[in-house]
Amino acid sequence: MNIAIVTGASSGLGAEIVRQLAEGAFGPLDQIWAVSRRAEKTGPLVRPFALDLTDPASFDVLEEALDKTPDARVALLVNNAGFGTFGDFAAMPPEDNANMVRLLMLAPVELTYRALPHMSAGSRILNVSSVAAFMPQPGLATYSAAKRFVLDLSRALDAELGPVGIHVTALCPKFMRTGFLDHAGADDLAARMAGLTGFEDVRRVARLGLRATRAGRALCIPSADMRAFYAAAKLLPYPLVLNLERALMRP
Ligand SMILES: NC(=O)c1ccc[n+]([C@@H]2O[C@H](COP(=O)([O-])OP(=O)(O)OC[C@H]3O[C@@H](n4cnc5c(N)ncnc54)[C@H](OP(=O)(O)O)[C@@H]3O)[C@@H](O)[C@H]2O)c1
């Protein structure tokens, strides 16, 4: 049985990925496991899992479900669930930094580890990172560091697993109009950052991300301006890029 597991499937990018998978964007699938705290059956292939991925018990639930499914083969794992809180590190709501670490870093690690025994040549992992991963971001310190972790983990795992035919793709979108911006306390800073980079279309990000995943590409940066930013952030000294970014963002 070919299964795709998509976390953060209840809204935004994850919901769009589930929709495109149901339409055949990754080839034939028998089931799509849609994981998020709010979960509902959105189509005949969809098996909803109402789970909070900041709770380690949720990883056991998914592992047990895989073990109990006859001939379960994870064709695709999409680690997408996430939120980001903007603002000064010290002024964050008490739970937010720890929950970002749990959801953005621990959940992909655990789910990858538990899905791998059910994967085989041709299986894929799509990890949703962000352009925030390209350099440390004051005002988004934990989030950007966590997304860097996702980017580096994905690229290392892709090299490690490539020889057995399993590929890992890091997807780095810029701002999209999703629930993410509601949650982020997306007042001044988020609005200015979005004004600086513009928004990209969720459907296009999902389409390009799934295409890159099928092709076994390690990195997908959907927008051209962010591909240029990625190159600049690697070449130029960090203080210079940071000052440039701050100057551009000045109200
Ligand atoms: N939108 C952007 O501007 C942007 C840019 C770059 C990268 N990203 C990344 O894209 C990914 C998808 O975000 P989005 O933009 O689609 O935002 P979104 O619409 O807010 O979707 C986030 C998803 O994550 C799920 N989620 C949140 N906390 C969870 C938890 N504790 N346990 C399980 N599921 C949880 C949410 O479902 P429930 O609330 O039902 O649990 C929801 O389905 C995230 O990793 C985000 O960091 C977003």
Instruction: State the average pLDDT for the chain.
Output: 94
Tell me the best of 20, 127, 176, 197 to mutate to test the pocket of ligand 1, counting ligand atoms within 8 Å of each CB and taking the most.
176
Can you give the residue range of the structural domain that contains 219? 2-249
CB burial readout 94-108, b (16+ within 10 A) else e: eebbebbbbbbbebb
Q: Residue with the nearest Cα to atom 3 of ligand 1?
A: 175
pLDDT score of 166: 98
CA–centroid distance, residue 66 to ligand 1 (Å)? 23
pLDDT tens-digit series, residues 127-144: 999 999 999 999 899 999
Query: How many helices and strands, by DSSP H and E, does the chain display?
Result: 10, 7
pLDDT score of 25: 97
On the question of pLDDT at 186 being above 70, the answer is no
Tell me the best of 95, 151, 178 to mutate to test the pocket of ligand 1, counting ligand atoms within 8 Å of each CB and taking the most.
178
Contact, 4 vs 33, CB < 8 A? yes
On the question of pLDDT at 185 being above 80, the answer is no
Contact, 150 vs 170, CB < 8 A? yes
Give the residue from 147, 139, 117 showing the smallest Cα distance to 230. 147
Is this prediction's pTM over 0.95? yes
pLDDT score of 230: 95
Region at 101 (left for phi over 0; alpha for psi -120 to 50; beta for the rest): alpha
pLDDT tens-digit series, residues 26-50: 999 999 999 999 999 999 999 999 9
pLDDT score of 86: 87
Q: What type of residue sits at position 15?
A: A
Query: What residues contact residue 31 under an 8 Å CB cut-off, 6+ apart?
Result: 1, 2, 3, 4, 45, 46, 47
Considering only the C-alpha atoms of the chain, give the largest distance between any 2 of them, rounded to a whole number of Å: 57
- What is the phi/psi pair of residue 180, to 5°? -50, -45
User: Is there an atom of ligand 1 within 6 Å of 103 CB?
Assistant: yes
CA–centroid distance, residue 105 to ligand 1 (Å)? 13
User: What ranges make up the beta strands (E) of the chain?
Assistant: 2-7, 31-36, 46-50, 73-79, 124-128, 167-171, 219-220
pLDDT score of 94: 87
Q: What type of residue sits at position 79?
A: N
CATH number at residue 35: 3.40.50.720
User: Is there an atom of ligand 1 within 6 Å of 179 CB?
Assistant: yes
Sheet holding 31-36, edge to edge: 46-50, 31-36, 2-7, 73-79, 124-128, 167-171, 219-220
pLDDT score of 48: 98
Structure tokens at 182: 């509601």
CA–centroid distance, residue 235 to ligand 1 (Å)? 30
Measured from the Cα of 178, ligand 1's closest atom is 19
CA–centroid distance, residue 145 to ligand 1 (Å)? 17
Mean pLDDT of 200-226: 97
Number of domains in the chain: 1
Cross-strand partners of 143: none
3 state SS of 6? strand
pLDDT score of 191: 67
If you count them, how many residues does the chain have? 251
